[in-house]
Structure 1
Amino acid sequence: RTVLNMDPPEHMRLRRLVTSAFTRRRLDRFTAAVTARARALLEPVARSGRCDLPVEVTDDFPLSNLAELLGMPPGERHLMLEWTNRVIGYQDDEHAAPVPGSDGRPVNPRSPAMLGDMFAYADGLAEAKRRRPGEDLMSALVQAEVDGRRLDDDELRMFFFLLVIAGNDTVRSALPGGVLALADHPGEHARLAADPALVPSAVEEVLRWHPPVLTFRRTAVRDAELGGRRIRAGDKVVVYHCSAHFDERVFDAPMRFDAGRSPNDHLAFGDGPHLCLGAHFARLQMRIFFTEMVRMLPCPRRDGPVKRLTSNFINGISHLPLRWEG
């Protein structure tokens, strides 16, 4: 199990351990590298005047950033994309073909059998960081300690799984979703280009408009009433971020994309004790990317049909053909 589906006190012990490693100071050290990576990915397509954004730019951007943060060797970073597509894209015919089990039904992509190679890699990387620790997050995780206790091997494997999947695919989904929103709202793109100080609020609006995670399921631990509906202990409750973010009781004119929207109390990173540990790093990447994108890609427009990931969980975009005039 991961911290996503744990309750206190187990949840709080693990969260404290990881928080001690996932410091803002450690994440901010990557600012220059993330900026250089955004420019290196955008410059070739900026010159060509058109691109398929996920394929040529945004699939690689968060993957490379996260791999560097974790301390993975450059030659092994492609493994993250394979693992992510297997777990998140298993319903999509382009990203992953289902593997049949002995009964002919597709094997659960999150099963230990399907994740064995990822867990084995995590074990090897953890051992390498114990022998030769660096400034990366995996080194910090193997050394992190709270009340005299460290993460055991199973806990390290599950945190690696969570970081690779959630840390990669959420930003990977949000970036093309945000660019599509700006392409469909050229006035807001022009507004950002004229005033880059609006980028932080625009990032929050992108997260509201195109939440990377569509839904999340929870189990009620006690009887409750919500919106006039009775929920009993043990009932499964699904939270629809993609619906909540357009609630007119919370957001003024929710169907309007507003790069300067404030306040903007979206739920893209969750809330409460399960607030996303990687939210700061995700926002850092998004702020850098959109700062560079509005500067380098003037007035992007759709240049063909948008293909969305087949998933009832991740709000992914597989293909986003764009064109612009320099």
Structure 2
Amino acid sequence: MEGEKPWALISVVGEQGYPEKVTDIIKEHFQIISYKDFCKNPALHGPKIQAMMVWYNIPEAKPSLLSLLPSLKVVANGGVGIDHLDVPYITSLGVKVSNTPGVVSDATADMGMALLLASARMIVEGQQAATDPNTTENPHWIMGVEVTGSTLGIIGMGHIGYKIAQRGKGFDMKILYHNRNRRKVEDEQAVGASFCQNMDDLLKASDFVMLAVSLTSETNGLISRRELSLMKPTATLVNISRGLVIDQDALVEALRSGTIRAAALDVTHPEPLPRDHPLLGLSNVLITPHIGTNTFPTTRKMVQMMVDNAVAAVKGQPVPNEVKPN
């Protein structure tokens, strides 16, 4: 019965939160309350909430909010990245933390290749020219760069990075990768990838550099002035990880000076960028609003995994995708 279901705190249903088409998955197991409604009377709602489902970093799992949730058993994050969660602090409260690995890999890898292709072949410029009311003849000045047979350097060869390599192989690209740990030889052979122990070697040799790392203290500012200076002037930087992985001031300088050809970004810091941010005024930048996982099939899989994790935690069972403090 509805009254017997445990309560879950969510962001909101609608344009800025969960699509209507996926809320049935949550409601099957939980009674839900939006963060906005919760804030109207936290003293009333707080004690009954056992699960908090974080979607696009909302609700924010701050100590001030967590202190209002004495019955909380789990913070279930939608997505792989948990850089916005203080896992040691949350778990110190006796609350589990979970994420949704694996299910986002295909959609995110697709987005990475879409950005790469759109930047290389100047798709946005072409669309603008084709629909411009002043266009009277085909714009032959639109001249992109070759993708087939080029060199793709992947920084971060986890689930998503490997999916990108599979797609790059389909374009007959030469695949280089840099990762904390080298993958198995059979993995490398399956996609024709070569390991670069030194990231500098990858940067110097690649026509496209794809960032697919998690945001950690080691990867914060991973690509800055020095790294950009090592890249080819004809190279494109693609970021599908987190905005803070790139020093954006350094990126602006590199794009303005021609140090690199272009950048294609699905992530920035902050999101969205301030409307007067210099990146938004550059013609050699393609930016999308962090939509790497935004397909209905992937969203449903993510929400289902969040719910599975939350249900297990509420029942005191092992959490399938538990994230533990380092």
Q: Which has the higher contact order (CA 8 A, sep 6+)?
A: 1
User: Do the structures match in fold with TM over 0.5?
Assistant: no
TM-score of the two chains, using structure 2 as the length reference: 0.24
Structure 1 or 2: larger strand share?
2
Structure-1-length-normalised TM-score? 0.24
As a proportion of its length, which structure holds more helix? 1
